[in-house]
Amino acid sequence: MAETRVRIRKRKTLTDQLYGQILEQIVSGQLQEGDKLPSEHQICDAFAVSRPVVREALRRLQEDHLIESRRGVGSFVRKRPPQGLIEYASADSVAGLMRAMEARMTVESATARMAAQRADSADLTKISDALDALEQSMALRQPSRDPDFAFHLAVAEASHNEVYVAMLQSAQEVMQRAIDVAQSITRGGSQARVDRVLLEHRQIYEAILSRDAEAAGLSMAYHLLQARQRITDHAREE
Amino acid sequence: MAETRVRIRKRKTLTDQLYGQILEQIVSGQLQEGDKLPSEHQICDAFAVSRPVVREALRRLQEDHLIESRRGVGSFVRKRPPQGLIEYASADSVAGLMRAMEARMTVESATARMAAQRADSADLTKISDALDALEQSMALRQPSRDPDFAFHLAVAEASHNEVYVAMLQSAQEVMQRAIDVAQSITRGGSQARVDRVLLEHRQIYEAILSRDAEAAGLSMAYHLLQARQRITDHAREE
Amino acid sequence: MAETRVRIRKRKTLTDQLYGQILEQIVSGQLQEGDKLPSEHQICDAFAVSRPVVREALRRLQEDHLIESRRGVGSFVRKRPPQGLIEYASADSVAGLMRAMEARMTVESATARMAAQRADSADLTKISDALDALEQSMALRQPSRDPDFAFHLAVAEASHNEVYVAMLQSAQEVMQRAIDVAQSITRGGSQARVDRVLLEHRQIYEAILSRDAEAAGLSMAYHLLQARQRITDHAREE
Amino acid sequence: MAETRVRIRKRKTLTDQLYGQILEQIVSGQLQEGDKLPSEHQICDAFAVSRPVVREALRRLQEDHLIESRRGVGSFVRKRPPQGLIEYASADSVAGLMRAMEARMTVESATARMAAQRADSADLTKISDALDALEQSMALRQPSRDPDFAFHLAVAEASHNEVYVAMLQSAQEVMQRAIDVAQSITRGGSQARVDRVLLEHRQIYEAILSRDAEAAGLSMAYHLLQARQRITDHAREE
């Protein structure tokens, strides 16, 4: 059992490393948009990893919209992420950050929905205060991880279910690193991008304030979807 | 900040205690189905707690289908849970168990959906083995918490996103207590109830095996909804 | 434009016919569980249809859990539906019935959710009356299409959004045929199966009555998922 | 039965008229933001309608974020929609338009999700062509109802389930009126608003193109949520 666990962890590490190595080649331009990747077989040989590791890494690169797999043809580079991505995070850690964003979408759409139904006035003040702090910090183009995390935690607390809060805290470290990366990229981006990030947070707050559970859950899911795409998406926002 | 946190924790404890006290009166028959509860004001006085504590406790009793609030009229007992509920769990802890079930529904519908898309053959074997162990254990009417938790953990691992696994583990203790209570009640129940619990697990496994993500997520959500209702629901299953 | 539409309709007809022909071979036992289907290429030739028609038909057979496609290997028969399926419906029409069930899941999870939030006492009476009529009719093993449809329509009306009602009515004919087939198969089935169908309807009604929107939407989705599987699923219920 | 149906239709008409009359008072400024509405009882008298009609109209005004009901206190005006709203649509018809948007959210999140899984190249071309036509038309600030509806219909057809298409067509008239109103308001709005509407459509198309079912469903739901809010929301976008 313990040995199985070690093997799983090792395979995950290898997968994340392979993901990171292919990512680096895309970011550096060694692999260009439209380029075909080597075959699964060639990747196995080149990186000395097993077939399942290659498949998992390719599956994730595709889910993160970085490559596109065409059945029976092969995999192709879809888009080139911003240089900043592998400056702000080690390439090995990017796959893990994306998984953290996936898990956040699940948990935080639920907390936003419930916050709209259950928040009392103290909760609303706390969310609103975090939003104000985030707006001030981002207006000054300062690192804004703490008010950002505080906003999301305040929404979770307004769900009045401490199990969700504990879940977010159990993933706090990787969540905060994901926020750091996204914030760093945004901070170097256009004013329009900064405005959009703030608007997304404001919409979540307003939906909660309006007691509109569906809108709150949806606005949170949309915000995290956008945040996830901002991490790997170069061109759109400039 | 630290002080706020203490105050929040204290209010939660008071709420759960009040929930537990009203629950005990319902289980013992002191409050009968259809009976009207005292007013919010009277409850404040009787239990020496503040209005927000009373409202939160009543909101939760209603969400757990134990009472029904009619706007402008008052709150009424809806159903009497099984005696076993407060034998297997302390009355104070029941509200917390129900919140754990709520959070599980959120996280585990997602893990089941993703397992259907991402499970490899090793994952499927692990889920299937846990299911076999659960069936054997329940057939013998033995305590089945471990194979039950193993089944749900194996599904989470098949999501290939370790953040979900960490989230479930962060709530492991309260989840296992919730499983214990549900299992204890089922074990004392009819064969039909035992069969139903097993069928629910089998449907989740089959949907994952069929690579039907929607069916997998839905079957998991339905199973946990039923499990939640089995905890407080007396009459239906006999 | 008009011509495009004709071409689309024709392709759909061909797809449904091909689906029906393969289905007949499975039901009749000409293709057994585990058997490998001919290749896409061979099917094109044998049935004189184009590649997209074959792919669409196979995709649907897989979504309906009748076959399983293994990447790079081929398609295999997964299960043999009950004989009754192609007695109660023409084989050509089965794919269409399954699509109607898919659309119902979408619309009716929403109507059930909203009914839980918006139903007034007249709505609840109407749903409850339809449920009583369904129980009586099914107890007598009579054709129960009308009370079944009436139940679902009453839930839709309780959403207080007439657009949903119009949508269900626009699909009324194919919905009623799908209900007919499912009911015919159930009527010939075990008492346990009849009981399960009734329990599913009762759970929807109770969730609406409890004002539990999430449970109502989920119970409806689960009921329609099960109904869809009962149409093609032979072995499980006996 | 027929008589019941007439009564339901009549009550719906009365509700929509009352909704329209209160809406007109808000748009005209007769009722200002923050103002308290008369009590349910007073509204019954003033408009000579029954209590259920008043409650339903107030419930809808609240769901559409126009008023806010505080338990035990009363209802207050939350925001003042743009003057254009009751120029482009009769006040009586606005409640109906909002219900059409609600039903679209349900059906079109599903069609977008399925389009991401099932669209073939002909489908993608059709969606892309409709998007191009929409961009050209909106760039010229021309009425853009037809390319807008064509985009949404092309997505629905790409679900390869004609029942969804029939459902949208059954609501075509009210959907097109809702699009007209939203488009008219947008056309009179800032360039930023026009850009945002186009970006929302583009995100849906890109998610479908990337075969990302979750992102496609979410982007569609978010677009329709925003469209719904743009209908009644004055201040935000200027």
Confidence of residue C5 (pLDDT cuts 50, 70, 90): low
Q: Give backbone dihedrals phi and psi of A70, rounded to 5 degrees, phi first.
A: -105, 125
Residues of A with CB under 8 A from a CB of B: 8, 12, 52, 56, 59, 99-100, 102-103, 106-107, 110, 118, 120, 157, 160-164, 166-167, 169-171, 174
Confidence of residue D108 (pLDDT cuts 50, 70, 90): very high
Contacts of C112 (CB under 8 A, 6+ apart): C155, C204, C207, C208, C216, C217, C219, C220
Q: Which residues pair with A67 in a beta bridge?
A: A77
Q: Are residues B66 and B111 part of one domain? A: no
Q: What average pLDDT does range C209-225 have in this prediction?
A: 96
Whether residue C8 and residue D171 make contact (CB cut-off 8 A), yes or no, is: no
Half-sphere exposure of A178 (CA within 13 A, CB side): 27
| Facing residue for A218 by CB, picked from D65, D212, D225 | D225
End-to-end CA distance of chain B: 50
Domain count, chain A: 2
In a domain, A217, yes or no: yes
Residues B165-193 pLDDT 10s: 999 998 889 888 988 888 888 787 788 88
Q: How far apart are CA D129 and CA D123, in angstroms?
A: 10
Q: What number of C-beta contacts closer than 8 Å exist between A and D?
A: 25
| Facing residue for A161 by CB, picked from B52, B99, B161 | B99
Say whether pLDDT at D238 is over 50: no
**Mean pLDDT over all residues of chain C?**
90
Radius of gyration of chain B (CA): 19
- Single-letter amino acid code for the residue at C164: Y
Q: How close, in Å, is residue C44 to chain D by CA atoms? A: 18
Q: Are residues A76 and A110 part of one domain? A: no
| Facing residue for D218 by CB, picked from A68, A214, A222 | A222
- What SS3 string covers D45-112? HHHCCCHHHHHHHHHHHHHCCCEEEECCCEEEECCCCCCHHHHHCCHHHHHHHHHHHHHHHHHHHHHH
Q: Which residue of B71, B105, B225, B234 is the best one to mutate when testing the C interface, meaning the one whose CB has the most C CBs within 10 A?
A: B225
DSSP-derived secondary structure for B122-159: HHHHHHHHHHHHHHHHHHTT---HHHHHHHHHHHHHTT
Which is nearest to C173 in space by CA: D108, D5, D172, D163? D163
Whether residue C170 and residue D167 make contact (CB cut-off 8 A), yes or no, is: yes
Which is nearest to D99 in space by CA: D182, D5, D175? D175
Residue A160 is encoded by which pair of tokens?
A: 């009045």
CA dihedral A195, A198, A202, A205 (to 10 degrees): 170
Q: Are residues C66 and C152 part of one domain? A: no
Q: Are residues D66 and D16 part of one domain? A: yes
Q: Give backbone dihedrals phi and psi of B38, rounded to 5 degrees, phi first.
A: -55, 160
E strands, chain C, are 67-70, 74-77
Residue D173 is encoded by which pair of tokens?
A: 């008239």
Q: What average pLDDT does range C178-188 have in this prediction?
A: 84
Which of these three, C38, C61, C77, is where a domain ends? C77
Q: Which residues pair with C75 in a beta bridge?
A: C69
Q: Are residues B152 and B50 part of one domain? A: no
Q: What average pLDDT does range C99-122 have in this prediction?
A: 96
Whether residue B174 and residue A167 make contact (CB cut-off 8 A), yes or no, is: no
Q: Give backbone dihedrals phi and psi of C74, rounded to 5 degrees, phi first.
A: 140, -170
Q: Residue C31 is part of a domain; what is its CATH number?
A: 1.10.10.10
Whether residue A162 and residue B106 make contact (CB cut-off 8 A), yes or no, is: no
Confidence of residue D10 (pLDDT cuts 50, 70, 90): confident
Q: How far apart are CA D196 and CA D201, in angstroms?
A: 9
Q: How far apart are CA B155 and CA B165, in angstroms?
A: 9
In a domain, B69, yes or no: yes
Number of Cβ within a 10 Å radius of residue C34 = 9
Which of these three, C33, C58, C77, is where a domain ends? C77
pLDDT at D118 (0 to 100): 95
Q: How far apart are CA A179 and CA A125, in angstroms?
A: 23
Contacts of B52 (CB under 8 A, 6+ apart): A120, B11
Q: Is C1 exposed, middle or buried (0-12, 13-18, 19+ CB in 10 A)?
A: exposed
Contact C66, C81 (CB under 8 A): yes
Which of these three, D22, D50, D80, is where a domain ends? D80
Domain that holds residue A27: 2-80
Q: Which residues of chain B have a CB within 8 Å of the CB of A164?
A: 103, 106
Q: Are residues C95 and C33 part of one domain? A: no
Which residue reads 């990229």 in tokens?
A: A185
Output the furthest CA–CA distance in chain C (Å, rounded): 60
DSSP-derived secondary structure for C143-170: --HHHHHHHHHHHHHTTT-HHHHHHHHH
Contacts of C114 (CB under 8 A, 6+ apart): C158, C159, C160, C161, C213
Q: Which residues of chain B have a CB within 8 Å of the CB of A59?
A: 118
**Mean pLDDT over all residues of chain B?**
90
In a domain, D147, yes or no: yes
Q: Are residues C143 and C127 part of one domain? A: yes
- Single-letter amino acid code for the residue at D35: D
Q: Are residues B163 and B123 part of one domain? A: yes
Q: How far apart are CA A26 and CA A8, in angstroms?
A: 27
DSSP-derived secondary structure for C181-211: HHHHHHHTS-HHHHHHHHHHHHHHHHHHHTT
Residues D139-170 pLDDT 10s: 998 888 999 999 999 999 999 999 999 999 98
Q: Which of B20-24, C17-21, D181-185 has the lowest mean pLDDT?
A: D181-185
Confidence of residue B2 (pLDDT cuts 50, 70, 90): low
Say whether pLDDT at D1 is over 60: no
Residues D17-57 pLDDT 10s: 999 999 999 999 999 999 999 999 999 999 999 999 999 99
Residue A56 is encoded by which pair of tokens?
A: 């998992």
Q: What average pLDDT does range C81-87 have in this prediction?
A: 83
Q: How far apart are CA D157 and CA B176, in angstroms?
A: 46
Whether residue D106 and residue C103 make contact (CB cut-off 8 A), yes or no, is: no
Per-residue model confidence as pLDDT tens for chain A (238 residues): 466 666 767 777 899 999 999 999 999 999 999 999 999 999 999 999 999 999 999 999 999 999 998 877 899 999 888 887 888 888 889 999 999 999 999 999 999 999 999 999 999 999 999 999 999 999 998 888 999 999 999 999 999 999 999 999 988 898 889 888 888 888 877 888 889 999 999 999 999 999 999 999 999 999 999 999 888 875 444 4
Residues C23-61 pLDDT 10s: 999 999 999 999 999 999 999 999 999 999 999 999 999
Confidence of residue B237 (pLDDT cuts 50, 70, 90): very low
Residue B71 is encoded by which pair of tokens?
A: 């706007």
In a domain, B13, yes or no: yes
Q: Are residues D98 and D52 part of one domain? A: no
Q: How far apart are CA B49 and CA B45, in angstroms?
A: 7
What percent of chain C has pLDDT above 70? 95
Confidence of residue D234 (pLDDT cuts 50, 70, 90): low
- Single-letter amino acid code for the residue at B179: I
Q: Are residues A195 and A104 part of one domain? A: yes
ipTM of this model? 0.91
pLDDT at D8 (0 to 100): 67
Q: How close, in Å, is residue C141 to chain B by CA atoms? A: 23
| Facing residue for C167 by CB, picked from D103, D118, D160 | D103
Q: Within its chain, how far is the Cα of D213 from the centroid?
A: 23
Q: What average pLDDT does range C90-110 have in this prediction?
A: 94
In a domain, C237, yes or no: no
3-state class (DSSP) for residue B219: helix
Q: Are residues C191 and C94 part of one domain? A: yes
pLDDT at A237 (0 to 100): 45
E strands, chain A, are 67-70, 74-77
Q: Which residues pair with B76 in a beta bridge?
A: B36, B68
Q: How far apart are CA D142 and CA D149, in angstroms?
A: 15
Q: Are residues C172 and C93 part of one domain? A: yes
In a domain, B238, yes or no: no
Closest residue in B to C206 (Cα–Cα):
B65
- CA triple C35-C37-C40, angle to 5 deg: 165
Contacts of A26 (CB under 8 A, 6+ apart): A66, A77, A80, A81
In a domain, C66, yes or no: yes
pLDDT at B8 (0 to 100): 67
Output the furthest CA–CA distance in chain B (Å, rounded): 60
Which residue reads 């993901």 in tokens?
A: A19
| Facing residue for D163 by CB, picked from C103, C161, C162 | C103
Q: Residue A144 is part of a domain; what is its CATH number?
A: 1.20.120.530
Cα four-point dihedral sign A97, A73, C64, C4: positive
In a domain, B44, yes or no: yes
Q: How far apart are CA C131 and CA C204, in angstroms?
A: 10
Residue B28 is encoded by which pair of tokens?
A: 């013992």
Q: Which helix (H) or strand (E) holds B76?
A: strand B74-77
Q: Which residues of chain A have a CB within 8 Å of the CB of D218?
A: 218, 221-222, 225
In angstroms, the Cα distances linking B74 to A116, B17, B37 are: 23, 21, 7
